[in-house]
């Protein structure tokens, strides 16, 4: 039985949803509809209930429906030892509330303690092809979902770098030399704070990337069904020789701190000239390779997409290993980007004792769903249970037999209220 899942979501004034209440199945839920009808908005609302913010909007005001003065997202989450209700609301006068069980005010960062999600979208190719900042953000969000202490560490580090950059900029404007006593005195304190905090972040990231490497390799093979070893590697901004430490994934905080300290001394003059901090986890990266070849440079779009899916599944399994619960999986129009074999393999991976919300513009995706899946139609911000007996052009017409759970049941009847 699914241990954590969203039983119901209530929306008011959110994107194109005026007022909607949808009850989900604890297993697989498919949402069908043409483009711009609200499929992505629904998944975005679930994400907001987990993270307290949108993954695609830069501000809460963008989420408010035109003509409305506020939005409200509330989800009923089934979990042990007791179910909870999570609520995020925002009014156009700038007030934002995050509440637990209708009364207790909590911080947005606390939402993931009650509901974790892993999101798949076509835009996730940026994880492979985008800038290093995209990959750092992915890694930090993943770790933060299972470690509030890491979240605090990242926030502290950001403040340290901001202050240190301001000091370096001031030093550049005053034309201080690297051997200036004034520069050394002012930077010394910030150097130690950066070293202490940054080394902890790097050590934790390296441990997590080592887990993603192992979990991602296994998931990649199961999704693609073809040979080709996926590897995920952490690329720190300081030289961390595996020969010195044995394995960089096992690097100690003190060992990393010494490398940071030495690198800061080496780059002191350059930092004063440029006016920016050039050492630390804010300059690290992650690489993805297939059989030793960089996926971003040499991989086909299909290989890049399979890499992202494998890493996302690795993320979900990482969260389960640390929390004991599989996160809710949100797949936004991902199936249409895959060939039939990868569709089948991916669904086989995600169908199990966890909740999955899938969107698609293709009616034929019904035939890929296992027995027991809940199917909905979305039209202009209105969600209705779909007639599961209807079949469109589908994988079965191309020889697909669909995916079936080991212990299939009857089609469950999800509901929608307005």
**What tens digit of pLDDT does each residue of 34-76 get?**
999 999 999 999 999 999 999 999 999 999 999 999 999 999 9
Q: Are the C-beta atoms of residues 394 and 368 closer than 8 Å to each other?
A: yes
The pLDDT mean for the chain works out to: 87
Q: Are 145 and 319 in contact (CB under 8 A)?
A: yes
Q: 280-289 burial string, b = 16+ CB within 10 Å, else e?
A: bbbbbbbbbb
Residue 313, pLDDT above cutoff 70:
yes
Q: What is the pLDDT of residue 2?
A: 66
Listed in order, the ranges of the chain carrying CATH 1.20.1050.90 are 132-288
Least confident of 78-82, 211-215, 342-346, 391-395: 391-395
Higher pLDDT pick, 377 / 3: 377
The alpha carbon torsion through 40, 41, 44, 46 (nearest 10 deg) reads -110
Q: What is the pLDDT of residues 97-155, one digit of tens each?
A: 999 999 999 999 999 999 999 999 989 999 999 999 999 999 999 999 999 899 999 99
Total count of residues recorded for the chain = 418
- Side-chain half-sphere CA neighbours of 45 within 13 A: 33
* pLDDT 10s digits, 191-225: 999 999 999 999 999 999 999 999 999 999 999 88
Helix/strand/coil for 302: helix
What mean pLDDT comes out for the span 77-83?
Answer: 94
CATH 3.40.50.300 residue window(s) in the chain: 5-116+328-417
| Rounded CA separation 220/226 (Å) | 9
Neighbours of 2 (CB within 10 A): 17
Residue 309 has pLDDT above 80, yes or no: yes
Q: What is the pLDDT of residue 390?
A: 41
Rounded mean pLDDT of 304-324? 94
Which CATH number among 3.90.180.10, 3.20.19.10, 3.40.50.300, 3.30.420.40 corresponds to the domain 5-116+328-417?
3.40.50.300
Q: Is 185 strand, coil or helix?
A: helix
pLDDT value for 34: 94
Concatenating the DSSP letter of every residue in 22-38 gives EEPPSSEEEEE--TTSS
Question: How would residue 343 be classed by pLDDT, with cut points 50, 70 and 90?
Answer: confident
Kind and range of the H or E element at 332? strand 328-332
CA dihedral for 237, 238, 243, 246, sign (positive or negative): negative
Task: Average the pLDDT over each of 20-24, 118-122, 410-414 and give the range with the smallest value.
Answer: 410-414
Residue 291: pLDDT band (50, 70, 90) is very high
pLDDT of residue 364: 83
Looking up tokens 């993603």, which residue turns up? 212
The Cα 357–Cα 9 span in angstroms is 12
Q: Is 251's pLDDT higher than 90? A: no
The rounded distance, in Å, linking the Cα atoms of 6 and 328 is 8
Q: What is the pLDDT of residue 1?
A: 55
Reply yes or no on whether the pLDDT at 243 is more than 60: no
Lowest average pLDDT, out of 265-274, 308-317, 409-418, goes to 409-418
Lowest-confidence range among 169-178, 244-253, 280-289? Answer: 244-253
pTM of the model: 0.86
Name the superfamily (CATH) of residues 132-288: RecF/RecN/SMC, N-terminal domain (1.20.1050.90)
How far is residue 125's CA from residue 301's CA, in Å, rounded to a whole number?
Answer: 9
Structure confidence at residue 179 (pLDDT)? 55
pLDDT, tens digit, 9 for 90 and up, residues 362-393: 888 888 888 889 999 999 999 999 865 443 33
């Amino acid at each position: 039985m699914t241990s954590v899942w969203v039983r119901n979501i209530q929306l008011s004034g959110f994107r194109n949803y005026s007022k909607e209440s949808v009850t989900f199945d604890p297993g697989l839920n498919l949402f069908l509809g043409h483009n711009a009808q609200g499929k992505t908005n629904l998944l975005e609302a679930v994400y907001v209930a987990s993270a307290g913010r949108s993954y695609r909007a830069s501000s809460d005001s963008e989420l408010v429906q035109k003509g409305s003065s506020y939005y409200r997202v509330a989800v009923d989450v089934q979990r042990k030892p007791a179910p909870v209700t999570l609520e995020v609301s925002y009014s156009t006068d700038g007030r934002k509330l995050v509440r637990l069980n209708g009364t207790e005010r909590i911080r947005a960062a606390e939402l993931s303690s009650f509901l974790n999600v892993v999101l798949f979208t076509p835009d996730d190719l940026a994880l492979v092809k985008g800038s290093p900042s995209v990959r750092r953000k992915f890694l930090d969000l993943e770790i933060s979902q299972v470690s509030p202490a890491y979240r605090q560490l990242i926030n502290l580090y950001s403040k340290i770098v901001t202050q240190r950059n301001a000091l370096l900029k001031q030093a550049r404007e005053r034309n201080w030399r690297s051997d200036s006593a004034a520069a050394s005195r002012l930077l010394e304190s910030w150097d130690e704070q950066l070293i202490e905090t940054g080394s902890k972040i790097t050590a934790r990231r390296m441990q997590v990337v080592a887990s993603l490497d192992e979990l991602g390799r296994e998931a990649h093979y199961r999704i693609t069904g073809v040979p080709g070893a996926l590897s995920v590697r952490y690329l720190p901004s300081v030289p961390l020789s595996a020969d010195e430490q044995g394995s960089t994934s096992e690097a100690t905080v003190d060992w990393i701190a010494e490398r940071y300290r030495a690198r800061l001394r080496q780059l002191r003059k350059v930092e004063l000239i440029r006016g920016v901090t050039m050492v630390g986890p804010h300059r690290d990266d992650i690489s993805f390779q297939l059989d030793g070849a960089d996926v971003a440079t040499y991989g086909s779009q299909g290989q890049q997409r399979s890499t992202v899916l494998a890493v996302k599944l690795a993320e979900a399994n990482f969260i389960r290993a640390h929390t004991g619960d599989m996160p809710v999986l949100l797949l936004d129009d991902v199936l249409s980007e895959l060939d039939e074999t990868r569709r089948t393999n991916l669904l086989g991976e995600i169908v199990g004792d966890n909740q999955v919300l899938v969107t698609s513009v293709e009616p034929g995706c019904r035939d890929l769903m296992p027995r027991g899946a809940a199917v909905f139609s979305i039209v202009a911000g209105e969600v209705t249970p779909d007639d599961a007996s209807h079949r469109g052009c589908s994988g079965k017409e191309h020889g697909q037999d669909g995916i079936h759970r080991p212990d299939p049941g009857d089609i469950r009847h999800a509901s929608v209220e307005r």
